[in-house]
Every structure is written in C-alpha cells, then in structure tokens.
Structure 1
Amino acid sequence: MGAKANTMIPTTLYDLLHQCSVKLLLSDGTRGTGFFVAPGYLLTCEHVVRNHGGFPIQVSWQQQDNFAEAHIEEILEEYDIALLHFVPPSDDLPCVYLSDELKVGDEIYLFGYPDTEYENGRPVTPEFEGFTGDAPPFMLLEKGQLQPGMSGAALLNRRTGKVCGMAKFTRDQFTDLGGGGITSAVIFQQLPKLVKLQQEFHQQDQRWQKFFNQDTPSKEQAICPNNLPRSGTVRFLGRENELTALHTRLHQIDELTITAIQGMGGIGKTELALQYARYHLKQLTYGSGICWLQAKKLDVGTEIVNFAQTQLGLTPPNNLNLLEQVQFCWRNWPIQGDVLIIVDDVADYAAIKLYLPPQEPHFKVLVTTRLQLGASIQMIHIEVLSEDISLKLIESLISSERLAQELTVAKALCRWLGYLPLGLELVGRFLSRKPDWTLEKMQQQLKSKRLQARALNKRQADMTAIHESAAAAFELSWQTLSKEEQHLAYRLSLFALAPIPWDLVEAWSGEDEDDLEDWRDDGLLNRSLLTRVGQGTYQLHQLIREYFRSKLDDWPKADNLKRSFSQKITQISKQIPQTPNREQILEITPTIPHLTEVTTTWLDSLSNESLICAFVGLGKFYEGQGFYREAKTWYEKCTQVIKQKSRENLSLLASIQGHLARIHQLQGQYNESEKLYKQVLKIQEKSFQISSPEIAETLNDLGVTLYKQGKYSEAEPLFSQAVQLRKTAYGDVHSKVVEGQNNLAGLYNAQGRYDEAEKIIY
C-alpha cells in the first residue's frame, strides 16, 4: 500500500477538483494540465505531451514539483486525447467523476496551469455555448479566458457537479472569448476501459458523490451563508490583477490573515471587495460563510451577532456583554471551510479590532479603508483606472455608438475626472439619462461648474457607492482633518495638477519642517487625500484638488494665500537665466507646471512687475532649450495680458516685445524682428532718458537684426550709438561694451573695411 496523500479535506467540490488537477512538465520546457481519472492514470490532451521525446513526463501536484513521473499509456491523436500511467506515491488520491450530461448554457469551472503566469494554477469559469460541426464535435466555451497551458484541464459542470469534458484550446489568450473542449462522451467512446475504472473507483471512494449528492452546488446560499449587498455596477472593469492579489494575500499561510483594500474616496474599494466576495460565493471558496460588515452603519459587534443569529442560527446568552457575545459567535461558528469577514469603510481600526475573529487559519479578514492601518496589516493600494478602462466604463453606460461619435471629447472627460471610478460612473449615468446631451456639452458644464455640476451630484439609488456626490466622497475625510492639516490642503490646492516638490512647499509655508511633515503624513497621506509620487514629491488627484479649492473659496484668508503663493513661485522665475544649461534646466523643470499655473489661474494675484517676471521666466526656460515656438507663445500671451491689465504702462509692453523680437530673430524671421525692435525703441525713447541702458540694448539688438538682413548702412549707426551708450552706463572695459565693439567690427569686416575693424578690436 502507498502512503496517504498529504492533502487537506476538501470543503467544496472546487477544492476536490483542484486536488484532482496536476501540472505536466516536459523535458523541453513545455507544460500543460492533466487530471486524475482513475488510480494510476492521468488524462490530458495529446498535443500537450506530443513532444515528450520518449522521456518521462514530470507530474507536479499541490505544489510538489517531483510528485511523480508519468509515461504514455495510450495516444489518440485524431481526438487529441492522451492517457498517461504513473505509479501513485499515495493510495489516497482522488479522481474526477466523468459524466456526459451537458446542456447549452451550463456554467463550467476549470482549474489549469497557464504557461505565462500563475505558477500554481488559476480557475476559469466559462459557459458552454454549444457544439462545433466537427465529427466528433468539440465543445465551445465563452466568457472565460482559457490560456495556453490550460489544455488538458477537467471541465466541471456546475449544474451536475460532474466533469463533462476536457479543455482543448483557447480562442484568444488575452481576452474572455473562451475556448473549446473534448466531451466526456468522446473520452468514454475512445477509451472504453475508463468506464469500468471510473465505476470501480467511485464505488469505493465516496468523496465526489458527497458533494453532488447534496442539494446542488449552484445553491450558494444554502452552502455559504452570506449577507452580501447587491452590486450596482453595470460592468466591472479593470481590477483583474487586484482580485488575484486579494485572493493570494488572504490565503497566505498565517495565523490570522488581515488584508486591507486602501485608496481615496470614490476609487472603488467597496465594489472591489463586493466583486471578490460575489465571485468566491459562486466558487464556494468560503464554505463557512461570508459576513459583510459596514463599519459606519452599526456597531460592528452588533452586526456580527446579528449575522450569527440570522445566518447561522446561533443564540448568544443574554447575560453576556456585547464583546462576550461576539466571542461566543466566533467560538461556535460552524466550520465547514474558510470564513470571509469583510469590514467596509473602516475609519477607526481600533474601534473594530476587539471584535475581529480569533487567530485561526480558517478566518480570513478583509477591510476597506482610506487609511494606512499599520505594518501588521497587508495593504493593497488601488489606483485610478487607465484611460482605456475608463472609456469602456463610460461606454457601458452610454453605448458604443455615442462614445465613438465623440471619442476625443470622451478622453478629455475621463482626464478631467482623473479616471476616478465614482466620477466616471456619475457622469456616465447622468449622460445615459440625457440622450440629447452631447459629451461636449457635458465637458463644458464640468469646466464651468466643476464639482457643483449636476452630473457629479446625482447619485442613483442602485449604485454600489454610498456617496451622494463626488464632493461627499471627500467630505468624510475632510471632517477628520485638524485645522493645520486643512490649511496645508489649502496651500497644496494652489499648485498645478503635477508633482509638487516638497522643498518648494517648505520654502513657501515658513512652518516648522517637522510639523509640516506630520500634517502631510498623518493628515493627508494617511487619509488618501495626497499621494507620494517620488522622492520628496507629492501630488493631488484632480477631483481632490477641485474639492480643496472649493473649500479654499470659503476661507476668509484665501486671497492672501493666493498672493503669497503667486509671489513665491514668481520669485523662482527670476532665477531662470537667459540661456540655462542642462543642470539648471533639470533643477528648474519641476517648478515649471506650477509657474504655468500662476500665469493661468492666479494671474489676478500678481502685480504687473511680477506678471512680467512669470511670463518671461517661462519664455526664457523654453528659449534656452531651443523651443522657440513655446517661448514665443508665452511672450505673446504676456503681451495680451499687459494690454488688458495695464494699457498705460508702455515700458512693460516694450520689455516683453523685446523678448518677442529676439525670438523672431533667433528663428530667422528678421522682418518681424525688425518691426518689433523699432516699436520697442519708440516706446523707450518716450519712457527713458536717451542715455539709458535699456535703449542701448535695443539699439544693439535692432542693429543685429539689420546686419543679418545685409542692411549694413542702417545697422552701423545703431551699433556705434549702442557702444557709446554702454560706455556711459558701464564704463569702457565692460563686457557689454566689448560685445558692442565686436558687433561693429564684424560689420566692418562684412563690408571689407578691415583697417577700421582692426582699429576697433585693438
């Protein structure tokens, strides 16, 4: 007799199928799936073992890589069936129960070993849609992502509780198009000896019958007590990796596994937990119950006792206090497998900690929270959706035709909403109720009314999210912030929607650095209102920034804060040299989005002089890198703003037009440059003394533009006058004087007047 198999007692039919499934490894690295079909026999597809090359096939079982070696017993190439024989190292191995009962629409469950990921296997739940016209026909499966490596997996019919066939192929390994399989009827027909072997085994071994002789595995409620709320999602998208990570974390071998889904308000924590629970309710993963607790609705202890009474039939003694009643429930919980306890929206971990189940492996605890709960709890932080998934979510609510008509606008909408699931769903549902609205109209309303737009304040009753509006999703966290933490939020809301260098915040605020860090870490980061995106760099989500700005609008000191911020950022622009080098560019770059924000959003907070500094700083930043088009744009914007704000201040206008003239000159647009320099010179002659350095610079620059056009006779007097004015302003040996003399000498050389050029240089 062989040794007993080292397996756990299966608590569900799905556990038993897992224990019947094996991974097959060939000497050339090929791998596939197989399953125990009779004592000492494995069934798989012929194409899985086609390249065995006469070598034994390695059988891996329950993560035991060297479990056994198998050899080919019989090959049916035409039908893609292979029967393998192996010497069982144990006499207690289970075998599947084959049955040819199958109907269109039956839900199928399989467990296989894909060759790209999930080293220890993964489940798939397709649906049987019918047979092909082949002889014999193949099963066609849909709605499940069969992947290469899963060929040879047993197909469990969830209606009958028996194996109706074997997976053969995938339609598309990257989507949920499904695949196909070989029916048990064909297997029995081609391998008639399996009929007898199956019958003999299952007469002696009752493990399989234990499950399909029960009421029926499809009646999850009877097998898995639960109080799960209804999901309001139309289509759940983009969280496949998180679902897998959740299951992996919850089933690590620990005394008590507590896993937390953590993220900002509206990001879909509750929906992710609910989708996970509902999926595993169907899989019967948690045979002893799934208990859903809402941390903010009732006392968690009371909810646990209520669940035990209504779902499990337990009656805690009346003479016990609440905590003792909860402990009674944990001690007397009927255990037929794992238990999943979900605590949704935890705002105070200490308030629920006492009521959590004992440290026993069958209790799995999942919480959703905005908080960082500590190192002892496994955190799964979820991010916003990708653009592609965001568009699919909108499409599921408004139709593909409507989306396709305004795809560019739809992408802009998703961007404005920061790819936040709650915002996307609110807007999508609003548009579904407004069939005459274009997406462009929706975009315009969001831009004008922002968080006050109706679309973001019209929650429907069937939605999973409990928040009445996008703002309400953040209000809960805002109310728990201290006064200092709220003031920090005001400050951060003034920055652009870009990474914020923390040293910039420190330099501006004037607060104690340690205090500032505590307000950031314990207040905003801890509540998922701020994200750390790099070393010393942080960023606000688009909608959270909108929310903080709405709060800032109601703060009495808002105007002072805006002026202070604008002045600080503008001071940085003064440090940008005319031609910054690479190191200076790298140092300045993180500040550029925030300087841009000042020139667009906080323009009214700037004095005229500061305004010029901000625009010119941006122009010089791009000009120094050779991005003349971008530099020209900023100089032109500055010209427009000056004309609107300060029509009388011609000197400011002359200053910015001088920069614009320089850009035209650098681009070889000499006619435009000449016209602008002449306009600047006229303004300066009225505004400054004739000997001023400003006039000297303009004369020199205009001379260069004329020289570049070959207008030597016009350029010469300008160069000469510029040299004299520079000598008056700076002295005879100043670099500006030398520059002007070199310009004049270059002109003489161009005219062939070499003696005059030599006299100037020497």
Structure 2
Amino acid sequence: MRHGSPNFVGREEELADIHAKLQEGQGVIVCAVEGMGGVGKTELALQYATRYQQEYVARYWLSLREMGLAQAVVTLASPYLDLPEAMQSASLDEQAAWCWQNWLPQTGKLLVILDDVPKAESIPDVAMPIDPRVRVLVTTRERELNVGFESVPLDVLSEEKALELLRKIVGASKVDKELVTVKEICKTLGYLPLGIELIGEYLSKNRHLSFAKLQERLNLADESIARERKYRFYAHRGVEAAIQLSWDDISTGSQGVAMLLGLFAPVEILWELVAKIGASAEITEDELDEARGQLDSLHLIQPIDEECSFYKIHTLVRDFFRAKLSKAEENHQFRRAFVTSLIALAKEIPETPTRDLIARVAFTIPHLDMLSREMLDDIPNPEEDLTWAFIGNARFYEGQGFYALAEDPYQRCLKAMQELLGERHPSVATIINNLAGLYDSQGRYEESEPLLKQALSLRQEFLGERHPDVATIINNLAVLYSSQGRYEKAEPLYKQALALRQELLGERHPSVATSINNLAELNRLQGRYEEAEPLYKQALALYQELLGERHPYVATIINNLAGLYGSQGRYEEAEPLYKQALALRQELLGDHHPDVASSISNLAGLYYSQGRYEEAEPLLKQALALMQELLGERHPNVATIINSLALLYRSQGRYEEAEPLLKQALALMQELLGERHPNVATSIHNLAFLYSSQERYEEAEHLYVKALEIMEVLLGMEHPSTKTVRNNLQSLRDIQN
C-alpha cells in the first residue's frame, strides 16, 4: 500500500465524512470540484487508508488512469493468484470477479481504492467486489459517475488551510513574516495543494529566499508559461509556474532524468527500471543518483515505499516533463532508449514464464503496454521489433492463464503488423499462429483451426515447405487435433513436424524435444506404450540437457513417463517419478496450481491401482478440492478426479457413494467434451462396470455397447481400452447366458 505525504493538512472534515459514509454504504466517490486536477484527491485517499488502517484487514490500491477496473484487478492479482483453467476462456470482467472472490479475506473488512477513474464505464458491476466486507473509495475528476456511491466533493484549500500547509513545510515564522505576499502566492497557485507543496519544498531547499523574491520568480515563470499555451484552469498555470521554479533549481543532468521519467506510464515506477533505461540513454549513474535526490527533495517525484524502490509522479508534473522533452534535443535519443530497452526486456519473457520471472517483470508491463499504444513510430526496426511491443505483454498474461488479457495485445499486434507489412507476410503469420494457440488453450477450437491453416498457408507461401516456422504451425495443428481426440489426423502432422525440425534444427534442440514428447503422448493416448517409452526418455534427456533439471517442461515429461509406467503396471518405477514431478511443480508453480493438483491426483491413481485405498482417498479429495477451487466446478479435469474417486468407492464396495459420482463425472464430460470423446467413453464404461457389479445387467450392457462403439471409432479396434470394454461386454453376456 502506498504512503501519503507527511505535509497533509486541511482535510479533517473530508476524512471524517468519508469514513462515516463508508460505514453506511459500500462506496464513496471523492470528486474534484469542476474536474480540476491537483486538488489532492489521491492524497486524501492515501491519508484515509493510513489513518484508518486498523479498520481493515487488507487494503488494495488500483490506478485506473491507463486501464479499466477489470484489467487493473487481474494485473494486480496475477503474481499472487493462479487463474484456473475454467476461467481462462472467460471474459475479463468475469476473471476480475473470480479474482475478488478468491482474494477477499475470510474475516474483517477490505478497503479498495480506485484512483483517477475517468468515467463510469471504468467500473463495471461484474468486476466490482460486491461483498458486505468490502469498502470502495473512488477518486475522479468527474462530477457525476453514477455508480451508486456517496459523493464527497473536494474543492481547493481555503486560504487558511493553504497557509497552514505552508507553515508546516517552511515554518510559521517565515510565513507570518510576509503574510500578505504569501497570500498572494497562494492565490496565484489557485490554493491547490500540489502547487503549495511544490513551492514549500522549493523554499525549504532555498532557505535564504524570501517570499517576495519567490513571488518575482513565480511571476516571471507564469508570464513565460502564459505565452506558450492556454489553460482550462488558471490554477494549473500557477502550478506549472511552481514546477518551473523547481525545474530551474535542478542541474542539467537532473533535468534530463526528469524528461526521461515523463516517458513512463502514469503508474508506480520502479527506479531499477529507470536506471536500466537511463544507461541506454547514456545517462551516467552519478547523474541518476543526483537527479533522484534533487527531484525527490523538491517533491517532483515521491517515493511510495520505505526502501525508495518505487516512485510516483503527479499527472501535472509528468505532463510538464513530457512537454520539456518534446522540445529538447534529447527527445529522439531518450525515446529511442526507452523503446529499445523495453523491447529488449520483452524479448526476455519466454512462452512459459515462471512465477519468479512474472514477479520480476510485472512492473515493466504497464510501460510496455503504453509503448504499444503510443510509441510504435519510435521503434527503430519495426519489421523485426514491432511485434515485441505486444508479445511481451501477451506472454506475461498468457503464461499465467489470463487469456482475456493476452488476446487484446495479440489482436492489436495483428492489426499493426497488417498495416505495416500487408495481409500476406511471414510475420503476420506468426501473430495469427499465436492468436490461434491462445484460442486452443481456451478450448475455442472452431476459431483456432482456420487461423492455424491460414498461418500455415502464409508461411509455406513465403518461406517454402521446409522451414522451422512451418514445422511449428504443423505441430500446433496436430496439438489442436489431439486435444479434440482426432488422433488419426494428429499423428501424420506430428511426424511431419518432427522430421522437419530434426532436419532443419538438428537433433539437439528444444523444439525437437517438444515434437518427440508430443508424439510420445499421442502414442500413450492410443495405447502404444512400447513406442511411447523411448520417445519420452529421449525428450526428457533433451530437455534436461537444454533447459536444466528444474523446469516445468521437465516436470511434465517426468509426470507423463510415470503415467506410462502406471498404465503398464510398473508401479515401483512410476511412484518415485510421480513424486519427483509433484515436488518440481510445487517448487516452480506453487502449491495452488492445476498442474500440482494433477500430480496429486496421478499419485492417488497409482495408489488406487495398487490397492492402497487408504492412501489414495485423501489425496483424491485434496486434488479434487484444489481443482474445484482453481478451475471451478465444471471442468474436464474436475470430472476426471470425480470419476477416479467414484472408482475408488466402487472398488471398496461403496456402491451408493460411487454411483452419483460416476453420473456426475459422465454428465460433465458429455457437456464439456461432447458425446464422442475418448474420456466420455471411459466414463460410460466405468458406470457400466458399476452396474455389472450390482447385477444390473441390462443397464450395464447398454452402456458397454455405447462405450465400445465410441472407442472403436476414436481409438481403434486394438487399443487396450477398446479391448477392455469388449472383454467386459463379453463377460457380461456370458454371465447372462
């Protein structure tokens, strides 16, 4: 939570009014009279959060200057919450609602501050935390937001309070000595807290300066500014004059750093990022350190944490810095450094970012997003680098399952690349492929397939049939078909992609390992275990060599290999691998992640296969609870675990507990996967087996026949699962005869 200014005065009545209104209703709007900036709306919210912090178990700050509420909520939550797969295809508003539901404390009140809301549409109802424990404090320049909250209009300071603020900063004796002049200065500043604080801090650093001399300088600055442009509010001209005084008081090097700061998005700024971009702009470390001290001491930037790692800049000050840069000879140099540095950081974000990387790059994302909206013309080599202005953000969100947030930069990237390069270009094909992959992850197969085919056609046209990028799309199309259970269409594409990658990239390459793993997984799904095992081992060895021992891909293959051994009854080999995969996933992804729940479920399934029911049951219940929490009640993975728990009960003779679970799992599978899918056939078979165990032969036979029909078509006559169903059906008929 951000800290307020130590110079706060003059708003005691407003603070009390806000608190009283928040006890009566959910929200309060602090709005500026006449929509004026600089009256202290944000500062008032900060002071309220600090003064009444004991009233709330948690306080969240969301700035809505550059984004809507839903995006702000999801972005803020992303380092702390793993979005469940069931929510990954939901709308952005629905994802925000899920974040609130899983973010709220169990007991006590929560304070949510929505800062600088531009319009009512920025606060959609579905993205709001509608809960009696939540209190919402909104700041805005708009007089009428019409969101059903109580309003606290905020005017400029009274003359008395303005003088009180100056006394607090520079001392009462200095103010009272030249009281008439001080009053004139306050009037020039429009009694805006921002202007008065700037003047006060300026005088604190120039103690020898009288208010009379200050007024002369302020008037000169004001006259100069008045000639340059017109202002909607006279007070803003006075504030800019105050900023100009501080500007003239700092070194040329500090002015350069200030102009660079004007390029950043209007959010909290990590100084480490400023230093990185500053080095690229040929600003020395000494200049950065000097500027940091001078700008802070004059209140032009303000630290928001005790370590001074992050700084905030008032909107009016930021606008001043940007205006100075636009006229400076450093403009091109600084903009180029800003863009190239952020593009370089975007290129470091992989397709599967770990939690540590997400935490490290999170504070870069708002600035990269602003770059993609406002600074595309400053990219030196747009044909190569323009896409990275968008892809960095898309990967950041997609890697966490925030697909609704990832879709927007991909869509904007596609439009920008088509405008730059035309409809038919290899780079355009890359973005189409990325967008198709996003839809595939969301289960939007009907939208994904034509995009993949379009991307493949484009790449083959411009790159030829034999190119790594062509192999990538062929592989992705195979993944799509495999996800749909269309194995006969997936297999030749997997083999084609693997052969191309081996030829073009060599035998030792991560993409080759991916293709080998995909082919192994397809063989396992088809029951061709002897073909799958050496492929899994080959892919695992490659990943370990190329990516290291501790990587999510490595954990996935270890888990898959354990599953293969479990299917073959090689339980002693499977168990340590399942445990190894689980430990890796917990380390890399955290305890609350769908892959972790899958690993727990897989280990439970192994114990079940060994008849270790007492060990299996608590693990299945743990995995089910975790899956339901992360993915929601209606998800194929949830249905799979419900089915596994039902099988456990059936094996223990607990038929009354097993039957409703089997029916629930089957209904979920049919709803989510369709009537003709291998997993649906398996669920039908399991229910048939239960009926057979209960001597409900007619019901069992009907289901066996239905399951066998689906499996023979989808998996083939010789698949182990098909043979199992056929044998069970024959045994049932033998019993009846």
TM-score tier (shorter): 0.3 to 0.5
Q: Give me the TM-score of the superposition, normalised by structure 1.
A: 0.42
Using CA pairs under 8 Å that are at least 6 residues apart, name the structure with larger relative contact order, 1 or 2: 2
Q: Which one has the bigger strand percentage?
A: 1
Q: Which one has the bigger helix percentage?
A: 2
Q: Give me the TM-score of the superposition, normalised by structure 2.
A: 0.43
